[in-house]
Amino acid sequence: MAPLYPTRLVKTWPDFVAASDTLMIALHARRSASSIAAWRAHHGTAPLAVVLTGTDLYRDIRTDPAAQDALMDADALVVLQDRAPLALPPEQRGKTRVIFQSATRRALPAKTSRHLKAVMVGHLREEKSPATLYAAARMLAPDAGICIDQVGGPQNQALADEATALMAACPRYRWLGNRPHAETRRRIQHAHVLVHCSRIEGGAQVIIEAAMSGTPVLASRIDGNVGLLGEDYGGYFEWGDAEQLVRLLRDCRETQDSPGGLLHRLARQVATRTHLFLPRTERQAVRHLVADLLRLSA
């Protein structure tokens, strides 16, 4: 589909063609703070939107003056899930809109009933809370019929060392390291359940990819996950509670072949959210954002 507006991507602004730009959409309040300030200094009241990530919402805007200034400078704030506006100062919520990220829909493949395959996707860093998955893997008996794959690069060496040791101690757990995106999507598609343990999230793309593959999610009960899956979703565990995660995994396994069991109930629940994550829905929302911003400068 042809773009409606000429668009370019830059790491920092301004650059050698900056004078011709008429609108900025900045990703991340703190990391883009210098570009946001430069935009206001060079272009005055020209329209500006800032897309807020999880670290913006749940950490940086509380303590970082540059991130706070970026909120003030923005004509529009974009967040990625329904509960994100609650993290903003009340005076900023009126210029905030939710735009869900999207993913292509995948066909639901046939899945074995010999075991339950769980997959967790995310780099090994504290915000993703892989230690919760490690603890859960140690609690599962070898004959529990539950296999766990973890995809993600070793950004924290201590967590990487722990994952390596865990593979030796728990043969049904595998740390696969970084994998190409297409392969990761296939692994999500073919898993029985995606596990998402994060402490901070702005709106995790892997949850959207799971939903669009018909794969249920077991997720930490944090705003970033609840804002994607809904308040009444039945697959939450309290953040850091490995025992509760294990109970959910066991329940999924024990009722795996039952249409009324937890696994199938969660699949039906994620299916009700997929209309939010369609590429055409995201595309239309972004176009409305740009059109509204351009009207400010007309």
- The whole-angstrom separation of Cα 112 and Cα 274 is 24
Digit-coded pLDDT (tens) for 46-63? 999 999 999 999 999 999
What pLDDT band is residue 130 in, cutting at 50, 70 and 90? very high
CATH of 116-276, one of 1.10.3210.10, 3.40.50.620, 3.40.50.2000, 3.40.50.11750: 3.40.50.2000
CB-CB neighbours of 172 under 10 Å: 19
The residue whose two tokens read 């897309």 is: 51
- The whole-angstrom separation of Cα 145 and Cα 249 is 10
Q: Where are the domains of the chain?
A: 18-100+278-296, 116-276
Computed over every residue of the chain, the mean pLDDT equals 96
Digit-coded pLDDT (tens) for 224-235? 999 999 999 999
Digit-coded pLDDT (tens) for 182-195? 999 999 999 999 99
What pLDDT band is residue 298 in, cutting at 50, 70 and 90? low
- The whole-angstrom separation of Cα 54 and Cα 204 is 9
The 193-196 sheet, strands edge to edge:
173-177, 146-151, 116-121, 193-196, 217-220, 236-237
